[in-house]
Amino acid sequence: MNRLRTTVVVLLLLGFTAGCGPKITPLQRKEAANLVSEAQFASTMRDWARAEGLMAKATALCPDNGEYLLNLGSFRRRLDDLKGARSAYEAAAKAYGATYKLDPRNPQPLMQQIYVYSLLGKPKDALKALKRVHDDHGDKPAVRDFTEEHLERLRQDAGFKELAL
């Protein structure tokens, strides 16, 4: 009987805590925004190492922000840290997917996810996400204009190639 009660209590606790990621406070978000601002300044000075360090701190505070993770990946790519860039880009793709799940009426996170999959050299995943965004939001002009041809032109862009893996 005690064992059954313990099992039920453990299952209830797991049920209540499932999906509860780390809570990010408004203060942490503000601190991360300040770090990002500093990182952007460092990147204008082409101080990639400083920009990467600041962005790493910002993503540690706000691991759910796809934009921060994408920027972290680009800074790491500029430093030729391919493994670190891949890790940041993969985290960005997941963050954009989670953001889309929170607000499926907004196609922007899916469109960003397509970009990140392209940076990662995952064309099948990019096309799958492109199909999904067209299926879910094909009535929106920005989505209609984003086609496979647009994606291919993006992949041929010199700036894109500089950041891609």
Domains located in the chain, CATH noted = 26-163 (1.25.40.10)
Alpha carbons 165 and 90: distance in angstroms, whole number: 11
Tokens of 70: 């994408």
Residue 23 corresponds to which amino acid?
K
pLDDT value of position 62: 97
- Left, alpha or beta for 80 (phi > 0: left; psi -120 to 50: alpha)? left
Give the tens place of pLDDT for each residue, 144-158.
888 899 999 999 999
Give the tens place of pLDDT for each residue, 10-51.
333 333 333 445 699 999 999 999 999 999 999 999 999 999
pLDDT value of position 9: 35
pLDDT value of position 145: 87
Alpha carbons 120 and 152: distance in angstroms, whole number: 14
CB under 8 Å to 89, separation ≥6 — which residues?
69, 70, 73, 116, 119, 120, 165
Task: Check if the beta carbon of residue 115 is closer than 8 Å to that of residue 78.
Answer: no
Give the tens place of pLDDT for each residue, 112-145.
999 999 999 999 999 999 999 999 999 999 898 8
**pTM for the whole structure:** 0.84
Exposure string of 98-128, with b = 16+ CB inside 10 Å and e = fewer, is: ebbeeeeeebbbbbbbbbbbbbbebeebbee
